[in-house]
Amino acid sequence: MQRKKIFLVSLALMLAACDGKPGGGPMGAGGTPEVGVATLHRQPVTLSSDLSGRVNATMTSDVRPQVDGIIKQRLFTEGAEVKAGQVLYQIDPATYQASYNQAAAQLKNAQATVKASRLKAQRYAALVKENGVSKQDADDAMATYLEAVASVDQYQAALETTKINLAYTQVRAPISGRIGISSVTPGALVTASQTDALATIRALDPIYVDLTQSSSQLLRLRKLQASLKRDDVTPVAIKLEDGTPYQHDGKLELTEVSVDESTGSVTLRAVFPNPEHQLLPGMYVHARVDNGVDPNGILAPQQGITRNAKGEATALVVNAQNKVEQRTVTTERVIGSNWLVSKGLNDGDRLIVEGTSKVAAGAEVKAVEVQQQTATGTANGGEQ
């Protein structure tokens, strides 16, 4: 009996507590429900795209011999920096030196012949006027002279050829850059027509990063950029394969003029300084390309945006009369914990972010401002 009395007293106290608490729970004074709101403001928002790509050298050159012969010396260190024109390999020059000496001797002989034939032609030209020699002899002397002059030109060209071949025995670097592993050692036979390179040189500073982007996304971004404030230079930032940010910023240099038919993608090429040679050809990287700045962007907290049965984005807003309005909005992309809204919300709107399930359009509410995290103002990723 005593237990029953205690239970009834406790129950009465609980009911009295619930009935005697005005404005408790979600209700405010007079039974008006409270909702948490975030006041929206227009602000500059930087729009960017996250893309993936590969690192490529700005210049690549295969080192190949231009004459046949035996490699006598390798004159560089593998993996080192080389300068354009630097001698990399020495091919045995003995036969090419002999050919050059022979061509030089033949040229001297031809030049001596020219001198003798010229004097003879001049004498015959004077004698023919006095009938000292026949006209035919004078013509023959002049022809011999002209032939000797032509021979000099011929031997001069032959000498130049042998000089070029002799110079080719020193295999020089065609470009400046970092040279890779040598495919031959001293004593190896090389030929001018071989397909295998002796070594490969790559220019690494600056360096290219080739990014891929879908053609449809590129079209959307170009339309977007037409209405945004942006500089002529498009900055690009990248992260390495392990997620480490690369310390130097690059810039977008060009967009490929054609679309890959098999993938529907377009290549964007960015150029980066690479003084430490941290970026190497073939590396996979993640890049962020700045597309421009929307000076009047509206960022709405994600918890304040819902979807209706049609899949449309909707929002509940508290108007000046403290009544709830439902808006259909257009969202562009996610920025941190916010949506970038292009239509449906305006500067100064009070968006309901807490208590949306307890109110409906047309209801009178008490709006309480909710502290939101400060937006970064930078949009990453593609369109949502």
Residues 6+ apart with CB under 8 A from 8: none
Which homologous superfamily is 94-168 in? Helix hairpin bin (1.10.287.470)
| Cα angle, residue 233 at apex, residues 230 and 239 outer, rounded to 5° | 100
pLDDT average, residue stretch 256-282: 80
φ and ψ at residue 30, rounded to 5 degrees: 75, 15
Furthest-apart CA atoms within the chain: distance in Å = 170
Write the DSSP symbol of residue 309.
T
Instruction: Read off φ and ψ for residue 150, nearest 5 degrees.
Output: -65, -35
Pull the structure tokens for residue 295: 């000076």
* 200 touches 61 (CB < 8 A): yes
Fold of 66-91+169-196: OB fold (Dihydrolipoamide Acetyltransferase, E2P) (2.40.50)
**Arithmetic mean of pLDDT, 328-334:** 85
Closest listed residue to residue 91, CA positions, set 75, 76, 70, 77: 70
Q: How far is CA 329 from CA 144, 247, 300, 314, 376, in A?
A: 97, 39, 11, 6, 22
How far is residue 318's CA from residue 365's CA, in Å, rounded to a whole number? 8
The token pair at 156 is 């001069």
Residue-wise pLDDT tens digits, 270-326: 899 999 889 999 999 998 877 777 778 888 898 888 888 888 899 899 898 888 888
User: What is the arithmetic mean of pLDDT over 135-149?
Assistant: 79
Q: Are 330 and 341 in contact (CB under 8 A)?
A: yes
Q: Mean pLDDT, to the nearest integer, of 94-111?
A: 91
- Mean per-residue pLDDT for 31-60? 86
User: In which residue are the tokens 């949502």 written?
Assistant: 384
What's the whole-number mean pLDDT along residues 61-88?
94
Which of 181, 204, 214, 197 minimizes the C-alpha distance to 66? 197
Write the pLDDT tens digit of every residue in 179-192.
999 999 999 999 99
Mean pLDDT value of segment 232-249? 85
- Overall fold of domain 28-47+295-379: 2.40.420
Q: Kindly state the tokens that stand for 351.
A: 């968006």
Residue 288 near residue 252 (C-beta atoms within 8 A):
no
0.85 exceeded by the pTM?
no
Instruction: Give the pairing type, strands 69-74 and 235-239.
Output: unpaired
Helix (H) or strand (E) run with residue 151 in it = helix 135-168
* Domain segments of the chain as ranges: 28-47+295-379, 49-57+204-292, 66-91+169-196, 94-168
Between CA 270 and CA 211 the distance in angstroms is: 8
Answer yes or no: are the C-beta atoms of 108 and 148 closer than 8 Å.
no
pLDDT tens figures, 6-31:
444 454 444 444 443 333 344 554 57
Tokens of 339: 């949506």
Which CATH class for the 49-57+204-292 domain? mainly beta
Non-local (6+) Cβ contacts of 59 within 8 A are 175, 177, 202, 203
